[in-house]
Amino acid sequence: MAAKDRTSESGWRPRLILASASPRRLALLQQVGIEPDALIPADLDETPKRSELPRALAVRLASEKAQAAARIARGRDGMADSFVLAADTVVAVGRRILPKCELAEEAGACLRLLSGRTHRVWTAVSLITPKGSERRRLVETRVRFKRLSGPELEAYLASGEWRGKAGGYAIQGLAGAFPVKLVGSYTSVVGLPLNETMGLLAGEGYPAHMFWLNRI
Protein backbone atom coordinates (compact mmCIF):
# COMPACT_ATOMS: atom_id res chain seq x y z
CA MET A 1 0.00 0.00 0.00
CA ALA A 2 1.73 3.18 -1.17
CA ALA A 3 1.70 6.39 0.81
CA LYS A 4 -0.21 9.17 -0.87
CA ASP A 5 -1.57 12.61 -0.24
CA ARG A 6 -5.22 12.85 0.72
CA THR A 7 -7.34 15.93 0.94
CA SER A 8 -10.88 16.70 1.95
CA GLU A 9 -13.04 19.76 2.10
CA SER A 10 -11.19 20.71 5.28
CA GLY A 11 -7.81 20.46 3.52
CA TRP A 12 -4.69 18.37 3.90
CA ARG A 13 -4.40 15.64 6.49
CA PRO A 14 -1.23 13.95 7.73
CA ARG A 15 -0.25 10.47 6.67
CA LEU A 16 -0.70 7.46 8.92
CA ILE A 17 1.54 4.40 8.83
CA LEU A 18 0.42 1.13 10.39
CA ALA A 19 3.49 -0.76 11.62
CA SER A 20 1.92 -4.16 11.16
CA ALA A 21 1.27 -6.89 8.63
CA SER A 22 -1.73 -8.12 10.64
CA PRO A 23 -4.92 -8.19 8.56
CA ARG A 24 -6.88 -8.06 11.83
CA ARG A 25 -5.38 -4.74 12.90
CA LEU A 26 -5.90 -3.26 9.45
CA ALA A 27 -9.53 -4.43 9.42
CA LEU A 28 -10.14 -2.90 12.85
CA LEU A 29 -8.81 0.48 11.73
CA GLN A 30 -10.95 0.29 8.60
CA GLN A 31 -13.95 -0.55 10.79
CA VAL A 32 -13.69 2.90 12.38
CA GLY A 33 -13.15 4.65 9.07
CA ILE A 34 -9.36 4.92 9.01
CA GLU A 35 -7.36 3.76 6.00
CA PRO A 36 -3.58 3.83 6.63
CA ASP A 37 -1.48 5.41 3.91
CA ALA A 38 1.18 2.72 4.23
CA LEU A 39 1.88 -0.58 5.96
CA ILE A 40 5.41 -0.98 7.31
CA PRO A 41 5.63 -4.17 9.37
CA ALA A 42 8.63 -4.49 11.67
CA ASP A 43 10.70 -7.68 11.68
CA LEU A 44 11.60 -8.05 15.35
CA ASP A 45 12.74 -10.78 17.69
CA GLU A 46 9.70 -11.07 19.96
CA THR A 47 11.34 -13.38 22.49
CA PRO A 48 10.59 -12.21 26.04
CA LYS A 49 13.56 -11.08 28.11
CA ARG A 50 14.44 -13.01 31.20
CA SER A 51 11.82 -12.44 33.93
CA GLU A 52 9.95 -9.98 31.67
CA LEU A 53 6.31 -9.62 32.69
CA PRO A 54 3.55 -9.99 30.08
CA ARG A 55 2.46 -6.34 30.27
CA ALA A 56 6.06 -5.12 29.98
CA LEU A 57 6.62 -7.34 26.94
CA ALA A 58 3.56 -5.94 25.18
CA VAL A 59 4.64 -2.34 25.84
CA ARG A 60 8.23 -2.96 24.76
CA LEU A 61 7.33 -4.72 21.52
CA ALA A 62 4.70 -2.15 20.51
CA SER A 63 7.24 0.62 21.07
CA GLU A 64 10.00 -1.20 19.19
CA LYS A 65 7.67 -1.87 16.25
CA ALA A 66 6.68 1.78 16.06
CA GLN A 67 10.29 2.97 16.32
CA ALA A 68 11.46 0.54 13.63
CA ALA A 69 8.71 1.61 11.22
CA ALA A 70 9.43 5.29 11.93
CA ARG A 71 13.10 4.79 11.02
CA ILE A 72 12.09 3.19 7.71
CA ALA A 73 9.58 5.96 7.01
CA ARG A 74 12.20 8.66 7.52
CA GLY A 75 14.12 7.19 4.61
CA ARG A 76 11.17 7.31 2.20
CA ASP A 77 10.12 10.33 0.19
CA GLY A 78 7.20 12.22 1.66
CA MET A 79 6.76 9.92 4.66
CA ALA A 80 9.06 11.42 7.26
CA ASP A 81 6.25 13.51 8.80
CA SER A 82 3.81 10.61 9.22
CA PHE A 83 2.07 9.32 12.29
CA VAL A 84 3.24 5.76 13.03
CA LEU A 85 0.92 3.36 14.84
CA ALA A 86 1.94 -0.02 16.24
CA ALA A 87 0.47 -2.58 18.64
CA ASP A 88 1.41 -5.84 20.28
CA THR A 89 -0.79 -8.43 21.99
CA VAL A 90 0.38 -10.82 24.69
CA VAL A 91 -1.70 -13.67 26.14
CA ALA A 92 -0.73 -14.82 29.62
CA VAL A 93 -1.75 -17.08 32.47
CA GLY A 94 -0.34 -15.40 35.53
CA ARG A 95 3.27 -14.51 34.68
CA ARG A 96 3.43 -17.22 32.01
CA ILE A 97 3.53 -15.77 28.50
CA LEU A 98 1.90 -18.00 25.89
CA PRO A 99 3.54 -18.25 22.45
CA LYS A 100 2.30 -17.27 19.03
CA CYS A 101 1.74 -20.84 17.97
CA GLU A 102 3.23 -22.29 14.80
CA LEU A 103 2.83 -25.98 15.66
CA ALA A 104 -0.36 -27.87 16.48
CA GLU A 105 1.32 -29.28 19.58
CA GLU A 106 1.97 -25.74 20.84
CA ALA A 107 -1.59 -24.66 20.18
CA GLY A 108 -2.99 -27.77 21.84
CA ALA A 109 -0.89 -27.17 24.96
CA CYS A 110 -2.05 -23.54 25.15
CA LEU A 111 -5.72 -24.39 24.72
CA ARG A 112 -5.58 -27.15 27.32
CA LEU A 113 -4.04 -24.64 29.72
CA LEU A 114 -6.74 -22.04 28.96
CA SER A 115 -9.63 -24.53 29.12
CA GLY A 116 -11.99 -23.77 32.00
CA ARG A 117 -9.94 -20.92 33.43
CA THR A 118 -9.38 -17.17 33.20
CA HIS A 119 -6.41 -15.66 31.40
CA ARG A 120 -5.29 -12.13 30.61
CA VAL A 121 -4.74 -10.48 27.27
CA TRP A 122 -2.50 -7.42 27.22
CA THR A 123 -2.44 -5.17 24.16
CA ALA A 124 -0.13 -2.18 24.04
CA VAL A 125 -0.49 0.60 21.49
CA SER A 126 2.32 2.96 20.53
CA LEU A 127 1.89 6.12 18.46
CA ILE A 128 4.83 8.15 17.17
CA THR A 129 3.86 11.66 16.08
CA PRO A 130 5.32 13.61 13.15
CA LYS A 131 7.41 15.53 15.69
CA GLY A 132 8.92 12.29 16.97
CA SER A 133 7.23 12.07 20.36
CA GLU A 134 5.77 8.74 21.46
CA ARG A 135 2.47 8.09 23.22
CA ARG A 136 1.45 4.70 24.61
CA ARG A 137 -1.59 2.92 25.99
CA LEU A 138 -1.87 -0.50 27.61
CA VAL A 139 -5.14 -2.41 27.84
CA GLU A 140 -5.76 -5.44 30.04
CA THR A 141 -8.64 -7.78 29.27
CA ARG A 142 -9.62 -10.85 31.27
CA VAL A 143 -11.09 -13.76 29.32
CA ARG A 144 -12.58 -16.92 30.81
CA PHE A 145 -12.88 -19.99 28.60
CA LYS A 146 -15.40 -22.74 29.03
CA ARG A 147 -14.03 -26.21 29.61
CA LEU A 148 -13.12 -27.46 26.15
CA SER A 149 -14.12 -31.00 25.24
CA GLY A 150 -11.79 -33.35 23.41
CA PRO A 151 -13.77 -33.18 20.15
CA GLU A 152 -13.90 -29.34 20.30
CA LEU A 153 -10.17 -29.13 20.80
CA GLU A 154 -9.41 -31.60 18.02
CA ALA A 155 -11.73 -29.81 15.59
CA TYR A 156 -10.23 -26.42 16.36
CA LEU A 157 -6.69 -27.69 15.92
CA ALA A 158 -7.73 -29.26 12.60
CA SER A 159 -9.05 -25.89 11.41
CA GLY A 160 -5.56 -24.35 11.46
CA GLU A 161 -7.02 -21.06 12.63
CA TRP A 162 -4.68 -21.04 15.63
CA ARG A 163 -1.56 -20.69 13.48
CA GLY A 164 0.40 -17.53 14.32
CA LYS A 165 -2.05 -16.53 17.06
CA ALA A 166 -0.96 -15.62 20.58
CA GLY A 167 -2.25 -18.25 22.96
CA GLY A 168 -3.28 -20.47 20.06
CA TYR A 169 -6.66 -18.90 19.30
CA ALA A 170 -8.38 -16.11 17.39
CA ILE A 171 -11.39 -14.78 19.29
CA GLN A 172 -12.87 -13.18 16.16
CA GLY A 173 -13.04 -16.58 14.47
CA LEU A 174 -14.13 -20.06 15.43
CA ALA A 175 -12.74 -19.62 18.94
CA GLY A 176 -15.39 -16.98 19.55
CA ALA A 177 -17.40 -19.94 20.87
CA PHE A 178 -14.94 -20.53 23.72
CA PRO A 179 -15.22 -17.49 26.06
CA VAL A 180 -17.93 -17.51 28.71
CA LYS A 181 -16.87 -14.16 30.15
CA LEU A 182 -14.84 -11.20 28.95
CA VAL A 183 -13.98 -8.18 31.09
CA GLY A 184 -12.27 -5.39 29.19
CA SER A 185 -11.93 -4.71 25.48
CA TYR A 186 -12.99 -7.21 22.84
CA THR A 187 -11.11 -5.34 20.09
CA SER A 188 -7.99 -5.43 22.25
CA VAL A 189 -8.16 -9.23 22.28
CA VAL A 190 -8.53 -9.18 18.48
CA GLY A 191 -5.36 -7.06 18.31
CA LEU A 192 -6.10 -3.33 18.52
CA PRO A 193 -8.17 -1.60 21.25
CA LEU A 194 -10.20 0.84 19.20
CA ASN A 195 -11.28 3.17 21.99
CA GLU A 196 -7.72 3.78 23.16
CA THR A 197 -6.34 3.94 19.62
CA MET A 198 -8.86 6.54 18.50
CA GLY A 199 -8.17 8.51 21.66
CA LEU A 200 -4.43 8.50 21.00
CA LEU A 201 -4.84 9.62 17.39
CA ALA A 202 -7.36 12.36 18.13
CA GLY A 203 -5.38 13.54 21.14
CA GLU A 204 -2.28 14.06 19.02
CA GLY A 205 -4.07 15.99 16.29
CA TYR A 206 -4.77 13.27 13.74
CA PRO A 207 -8.26 13.81 12.25
CA ALA A 208 -9.44 10.36 13.26
CA HIS A 209 -13.12 11.12 12.70
CA MET A 210 -12.79 12.95 9.39
CA PHE A 211 -14.16 10.11 7.31
CA TRP A 212 -17.21 9.76 9.52
CA LEU A 213 -18.58 12.98 8.02
CA ASN A 214 -21.29 12.41 5.44
CA ARG A 215 -20.74 8.66 5.68
CA ILE A 216 -23.59 6.65 4.20
Per-residue pLDDT tens digits for 79-108: 889 999 999 999 999 999 999 999 999 999
Cite the active site residues: 88
For residue 28, with 0-12 CB atoms within 10 Å meaning exposed, 13-18 middle and 19 or more buried, which class applies? buried
Q: Output the pTM of the full model.
A: 0.90
> For 182-205, how does the pLDDT look when each residue is reduced to its tens digit (9 = 90+)?
999 999 999 999 999 999 999 999
- Residue 77's pLDDT is 85
- Please say if the pLDDT value at position 2 is more than 80: no
φ/ψ bin of 102: left (φ > 0), alpha (ψ from -120 to 50), beta (otherwise): alpha
**CATH T-level assignment (fold) for domain 7-212:** Maf protein (3.90.950)
Sequence spans of domains, the chain: 7-212
- 99 Cβ neighbours under 8 A, 6+ residues apart: 106, 110, 166, 168
Confidence class for position 10, pLDDT limits 50, 70, 90: very low
Sign of the four-CA dihedral 195, 197, 198, 199: positive
> For 131-177, how does the pLDDT look when each residue is reduced to its tens digit (9 = 90+)?
999 999 999 999 999 999 999 999 999 999 999 999 999 999 999 99
Q: Please, are residues 175 and 121 in contact by the beta-carbon 8 Å criterion?
A: no
- 21 Cβ neighbours under 8 A, 6+ residues apart: 39, 41
